[in-house]
Amino acid sequence: GQNIDQPTEMTATEGAIVQINCTYQTSGFNGLFWYQQHAGEAPTFLSYNVLDGLEEKGRFSSFLSRSKGYSYLLLKELQMKDSASYLCVCLDSNYQLIWGAGTKLIIKP
How far apart are the C-alpha atoms of 59 and 74, rounded to whole Å? 8
| Residue 97 interacting with other proteins (CB under 8 A) | yes
How far apart are the C-alpha atoms of 109 and 89, rounded to whole Å? 29
Q: Between 64 and 75, whose beta carbon lies closer to other proteins?
A: 64
Taking CB under 8 A as the criterion, which residues in 35-74 touch other proteins?
Answer: 40-45, 48, 50
How far apart are the C-alpha atoms of 61 and 55, rounded to whole Å? 5
Quote the least distance from Cβ 105 to other proteins, whole Å: 14
Residue count, binding to other proteins (CB under 8 A): 23
Of 38, 57, 101, 17, the residue nearest 46 (C-alpha): 57
Catalog residues that contact other proteins under the rule CB under 8 A. Answer: 4, 8, 30-31, 33, 40-45, 48, 50, 87, 91, 95-102
